[in-house]
Structure 1
Amino acid sequence: MENKREEEIEALEVLVDFNERLIKNMTIIVKELSGKRLDDTDKFLRSIVDAINWEIQVMNGTMELLNEDKERINKESFNSVIVSLGGAIAEKNDKKMAEEFEKAIHVFEQLGEAAKEVVSK
């Protein structure tokens, strides 16, 4: 049991570093999708989606630890934002994707803060 906890803490430590880059990249993709598209925007978007998926996997695997002594992440509201983002990406509507990424940035900032709080205990 203790080994599982240590592995979860390690995963959250990696997420903390990774999360800062993801948020920075999400901010950049919002600009690109808001009319400043570049030649590699679609490739950049795919890499961001991969990073989002990785963070979601870590979050799902550590949710019990993240919310151990208080609710830091509300899974339902988090998932709602992700579902909306996924819908916008599926539509390939730049304006809608930019709007949904703006919302997603906030939930990933919360995830990063929650992870920092847990690993610093």
Structure 2
Amino acid sequence: MEENRLEQKEALQTLVEFNERLVKNMNIIVKELSGQRLDDTDKFLKGILDAVNWEVQVMNGTMELLNEGKERINKEEFNNKILELSKALKAKDDAKQAEAIRDLIPAFESLEEAAKEVIA
């Protein structure tokens, strides 16, 4: 059990290091999807989505630790924002994608704060 906890803390440490860049990139992609598209916007978006998926997997694998003692992450709210992004991606609508990512940024900022609190 203690080894599992240690692995979860290590995963959260990696997430914290990774998350700052992800949030920065999410802000950039919102601008690109809001009318400032570049040649590599689709490739950039795919990289961001891969990072989002990885962080969600880490969050799901460490949810017990993240919410130990108190609720730091509301999984239902987080999942609802992910579902909105998924719908926007399926619609292939840049404006909807930008809005969904903009709405998701605070959730990832909260995830980083929760992870920092747990590993401190």
Separation in structure 1 between the aligned mates of residue 57 and residue 116 of structure 2, nearest angstrom:
17
Partner of 2:42: 42
Partner of 2:88: 88
Partner of 1:16: 16
Separation in structure 2 between the aligned mates of residue 26 and residue 45 of structure 1, nearest angstrom:
9
Structure 1 counterpart of 2:91, one-letter code: E
TM-score (structure 2 length as normaliser)? 0.99
Structure 2 alignment gaps of length 5 or more: none
**What is the CA deviation profile of residues 58-114 of structure 1, one whole-angstrom value per residue up to 9, with x for unaligned ones?**
000000000001000000000000000111011110001011111000100010110
Separation in structure 2 between the aligned mates of residue 29 and residue 78 of structure 1, nearest angstrom:
20
Structure 1 alignment gaps of length 5 or more: none
Number of residue-to-residue matches in the alignment = 120
Percent identity reads: 66
Separation in structure 2 between the aligned mates of residue 12 and residue 29 of structure 1, nearest angstrom:
24
Q: Report the alpha carbon displacement of residue 15 of structure 1 after superposing the two structures with TM.
A: 0.2
Q: Report the alpha carbon displacement of residue 38 of structure 1 after superposing the two structures with TM.
A: 0.2
**What is the CA deviation profile of residues 18-75 of structure 1, one whole-angstrom value per residue up to 9, with x for unaligned ones?**
0000000000000000000000000000000000000000000000000001000000
SS at structure 1 position matched to 2:109: helix
Partner of 1:104: 104
Deviating above 6 A after TM superposition, structure 1's stretches of 4 or more consecutive aligned residues are none
